[in-house]
Amino acid sequence: MSLALHAFTATGVLVGMAALVAVLDGSARLAIIWLLVAQLIDGIDGPLARRLLPEEATTKFDGYVLDLVIDFVTCVLVPAAFLWEFNMVNHDRSGMIAVAALLMFSSLWFSRTDQQDSDSWFHGFPASWNMVIPTLWLLDSYVDRCGLFIDTDDDQCAVCSSRSCRSVASVEYGGNFDLGLRRSFRNDLVTRNTRTVTGAHFRRTFDGCGSDCCTTH
């Protein structure tokens, strides 16, 4: 049973490869679908293992390490390729620095020995690029459908660089929204910073755009 569950977890890397192929084929929407499938697998394999395996079960495979390997592929490598392939950053020095920062600081976060505390709060930005980068791309697609011509590449470089640096910073990110009710006021700032991953980009994009900007198209 344990081997079967580890094999199920390992299918995440196959899904990650499918997402990467979709990126290289220029199919952003298909890549996002595959990334969502990877998230689904990542979300249910742990609960399945806790439900089906006895606590005393032993195996020569480490599920935690396996999760980290697959998460690095689906949460970092594929989104980094997505970022570059779909021209979300400029193909110049600034874009290369943004992608390099994403890869390097994400690698450092995955090697942290204090990734989470006992309340499931992450220490540093948890390299969740599989959610951040597709969301930014969807926002840009929405802008295009509105008929707006706004260059947001610099914003995306700034978002990626700032979030990357926070992967090694002493800042907390909530792993469970309910826990925010039990945290002190100091974490309100963390919550606001988390929202700026997409919120600041969204406000910047629609600055000066009327509420009916999309109704006429």
Per residue in 67-87, pLDDT (tens digit) is 999 999 999 999 999 999 999
pLDDT, greater one: 22 or 8: 22
Phi, psi of 195 (to 5 degrees): -65, -30
This prediction has a pTM of 0.74
pLDDT, greater one: 66 or 204: 66
- List, in order, residues 6 or more apart from 30 with CB less than 8 Å away: 22
Most confident by average pLDDT, 2-6, 89-93, 199-203: 89-93
Per residue in 136-158, pLDDT (tens digit) is 898 887 766 665 444 555 566 77
Q: Which sequence spans correspond to the domains of the chain?
A: 1-79, 87-217
| pLDDT given for residue 117 in this prediction | 80
Confidence of residue 114 (pLDDT cuts 50, 70, 90): confident
| pLDDT given for residue 107 in this prediction | 94
